[in-house]
Amino acid sequence: MRYIDPHIHCSSRTTDDYERMAEAGIVAVIEPAFWLGQPRSNAGSYHDYFSSLVGFERFRAAQFGIKHYCTIGLNAKEANNERLAEEVLDMLPLFLAKENVVAVGEIGFDDMTAAEERALRVQLDLAKELDLPVMIHTPHRNKKRGTYRSMDIIEEHGVAPHMVVIDHNNEETAKEVLDRGYWAAFTIYPKTKMGNQRMVEIVKQYGSDRIIVDSSADWGISDPLAVTKTASLMLSQGIADEDVQLTCYKNAIDAYNQSGQFNEADWLEPTPIDEQKLFEGNSVLRGQRPDSPPSQENEIIS
């Protein structure tokens, strides 16, 4: 089976992770712009981060046969630094038109402040103007209210629910999000978000329509194989293959390809203009492809 992790912060992960993900069947990832675990002190650092999401990280993933996409946006935490926020909001048009950008995100609420709300509104308008999907981060604290409030604001701005993925759902938020017509993503992340056994129960209860599984693996204790492990658990507990494919692969394509930038063909049949084949197909990654066998304790380093 093929899998997609539609929410993972690859920049914080190692090449070993990429190797294991590729081995486990993950063919494409989406890396939403987020904070670094500590707040950025200036807009330049944001600029270079965006630039690496559309540039070097995409190249790094490609070396492992994984297609890398991203979402661009100002996250809620850093929206509270208003001077920084203004500069970052001004910078967004420079990056939203990039080839691998599949949505505006992750945006939404953290503390539910006025500054967060302003950044959310500006970015919803941008998404609407550029006809891009939106990835909504829902808060850890006060999750239910934050989620509902986000949806109210989205509807106020006239952004269609089918263009929006509400992420980090749980048993408390799932029904309302689905009933209102949104894509509902669930993050399998130890301790703070969902566990995969709980995820199996969600799929048993709600089926596979518009439900998406992701890892949100980042710099914290998290698991880049959360999607594939959840898929295995679903299969072992009698969930149909088709439902596993929808929740762990296909729904993410349908949601994010509304940008026109997340085509299955990109990884199933790469075009001659694909970065791995540029310049007369002379395998430009020669020598940079990880071709060594898994490392061993006594390996000779040559």
- By CB under 8 A, name the binding residues for another protein: 47, 50-51, 54-56, 58-59, 93-100, 260-261, 271-273, 275, 278-280, 282-288
Q: How far is the CB of 120 from another protein (least distance, A)?
A: 22
Q: Which residues of 73-89 are buried (b: 16+ CB within 10 A; e: fewer)?
A: bbbbbbbbbeebbebbb
Q: How far is CA 45 from CA 39, 186, 190, 206, 219, in A?
A: 10, 29, 29, 41, 18
Residue type at position 113: T
Residue type at position 62: A
Strand order in the sheet with 101-108: 3-5, 26-32, 67-72, 101-108, 134-137, 164-167, 183-187, 211-214
Cβ closest to another protein, residue 74 vs residue 199: 74
Cβ closest to another protein, residue 95 vs residue 249: 95
Cβ closest to another protein, residue 155 vs residue 274: 274
Q: How far is the CB of 275 from another protein (least distance, A)?
A: 5
Six token digits for residue 190: 């130890």
Q: How far is the CB of 58 from another protein (least distance, A)?
A: 6
Cβ closest to another protein, residue 93 vs residue 190: 93
Cβ closest to another protein, residue 52 vs residue 80: 52
Q: What is the DSSP letter of 38?
A: S
Q: How far is the CB of 274 from another protein (least distance, A)?
A: 9
Cβ closest to another protein, residue 182 vs residue 256: 256
Cβ closest to another protein, residue 99 vs residue 152: 99
Q: How far is the CB of 281 from another protein (least distance, A)?
A: 10
Cβ closest to another protein, residue 12 vs residue 261: 261
Q: How far is the CB of 248 from another protein (least distance, A)?
A: 27
| DSSP run (H or E) holding 69 | strand 67-72
> CA-to-CA distance for 256 and 267, rounded, in angstroms?
15
What is the β-pairing status of strands 211-214 and 164-167? unpaired
- What residues form DSSP beta bridges with 26? 3
Q: How far is the CB of 99 from another protein (least distance, A)?
A: 6
Sign, CA torsion 70/76/77/83: positive
Q: How far is the CB of 15 from another protein (least distance, A)?
A: 13
Q: Are 68 and 61 in contact (CB under 8 A)?
A: yes
> CA-to-CA distance for 160 and 152, rounded, in angstroms?
12
135: CB partners within 8 A, 6+ apart = 7, 30, 32, 71, 73, 103, 104, 105, 106, 107, 164, 165, 167
